Amino acid sequence: MNLDGGLLTTHEVDVTVFDLDANALYEAVLTRDRRFDGQMFVAVSSTRIYCRPICTVRPPQFKNCTFYKTAAAAEAQGYRPCLRCRPELAPGSSAPVDAVPRLAALAIRRIEDGALSRLSLDELAAEFDVTARHLRRAIRQEAGLSPVELAQTQRLLLAKQLLTDTKMSVTEAAFAAGFESLRRFNTAFKDRYRLTPTSLRRSVGSNKNDSKDVYRFNLAVRPPFDLAPFLAFWRVRSTAGVEQVIDGWYRRVVVVGQYQGWIAVGPGRKDHTVQALVSTDLGPVLSQVLSRLKAMLDVRARPDAIAEHLSQDPLLASHIRQWPGLRVPGAFDGFECGIRTILGQQVSVRAATTIAGRLASQFGRPCATPYDSLTTAFPTPEALAAASIIELKALGLTTRRAETIKGFANAVASGHIRLEPGADPDRVRSAMLALPGIGSWTAEYLLMRAVGWPDAFPATDLGLIKASGLTPVELRIRAESWRPWRSYAAALLWQSLSDSSDPTSGRLNLSADSTYVSR
């Protein structure tokens, strides 16, 4: 039997899944190996149900197992998601950039994040400068499914999560998941899962942790994972009025389209999870909020694959042993991250944070939250594009920096620059470099944090040069062997500059904000 729709039969080998055959994948199921969580799903012919490899049910017999790379591929073959391990909670896949056709990989990432609930296939294809026909063909060649089939699976899995984890009504869950019709949602849910949304809710019961003002979620992450470096990173960069880190939690004001509210991220209630709180005001855009939260936490990272590759270089091997599973902090809002990066080009992190607070106070809009220190939404691209140079200079900016901010805001507001996970990195890079006042360091840093590109590398950064002990030319050459995980190599090198006398501080020293080298 041949590979079909991302399928691995018990007689086949798929070299894109850890180079292992079905026997090894079955061993992962028997041992509930978390490294495989989200990388493959096991479907059981005797029950017609598919599970995550970490499912706690009694392991199925090998002869009844079929392995799929995606949940969508399993559902396309008529399998239903397990109600115990809940495939919708699995961390997203993050294959090395050279292991799959890049166009398909980027587009699938965007679809998994709900892009087709907001865009047409033509609009999504235009983001990559290809036709919808070409994009459809590339995705089918890679995933064995159409873009619409992939999107439908993601909507159904999100709706299942909302019905299980929140007190949302069936109608609210359907629309929040991206369905435009309640009738179509009910039909798709019944056809795919062989039960109705209301019967699912009765079977799992009402979520006792939910309240009238907040939705509570547990986001799964692959171990090893440590939330402390994220909190330390966000703490020193928290924009006054917009975000805060306190008592082991990160909180911030959120605006998505016409909806505004707040989110909070803290320690998970279960192993290998992070707890996320989302205000109910953001219910209609939960799909986007959850996708952005996962990007912030870099939940798609594959620590095992990254460590295996980078540890081949002695320069990085000791860092990997010291900080296993180190992630790259993402950004909830790419535009906000871009403004912070521009502000920090030639000043300290503290100075950039101070000016960011002034920008928010002057050009942001008020937002009511339960927290006294969270009062303001960060300025929109349109607001900063409309600001005058005089107004921006009054906040402590130089003329050149003010002009750069206005140019960047105009580019984002017009859609010329899209800073979001899954965006085409080459297109983002060229658009950024075309703007006055933005060089290669800024572009690569934003590819790391706002776009989530695992192979970005700000080679001109003084911190990286210092940490590596190499000349700029030597660093560029050495970094070629770190592909396709150069972003994580950069994070490790920056982390090595932290205070080694206090290894428990959890300080992630992504301090390149203050080591920008103008080009």
Q: Supply the residues annotated as catalytic.
A: 51, 461
Indicate the DSSP class of residue 201.
H
Residue carrying structure tokens 């859609």: 415
Q: Rounded CA gap, 374 and 277, in Å? A: 15
CB within 8 A of 390, min separation 6: which ones?
A: none
CB 299 within 8 A of CB 290: no
- The pair of three-digit structure tokens given for residue 281, joined into one six-digit string: 């005001």
- The pair of three-digit structure tokens given for residue 180, joined into one six-digit string: 């435009």
CB within 8 A of 166, min separation 6: which ones?
A: 173, 207, 210, 215, 216
Element (H, E) at 220: strand 214-220
Strands (E) in 34-124, as ranges, are 41-44, 49-51, 65-68, 80-81
Other Cβ atoms closer than 10 A to 204: 13
Q: Measuring CA to CA, which residue among 422, 429, 390 is closest to residue 406?
A: 390
Q: Measuring CA to CA, which residue among 31, 28, 53 is closest to residue 42?
A: 53
Residue carrying structure tokens 């009765």: 202
Q: Measuring CA to CA, which residue among 379, 331, 338 is closest to residue 357?
A: 379
Q: How far apart are the first and last CA of the chain?
A: 54
Point out which residues pair with 262 in neighbouring strands: 253
Q: Rounded CA gap, 39 and 154, in Å? A: 16
Name the burial class of residue 501, with classes exposed (0-12), middle (13-18) and buried (19+) by CB atoms within 10 angstroms of its CB: exposed
Q: Rounded CA gap, 128 and 126, in Å? A: 5
Element (H, E) at 470: none
Q: Rounded CA gap, 260 and 243, in Å? A: 14
Other Cβ atoms closer than 10 A to 30: 12
Q: Rounded CA gap, 234 and 356, in Å? A: 14
Q: Rounded CA gap, 253 and 267, in Å? A: 19
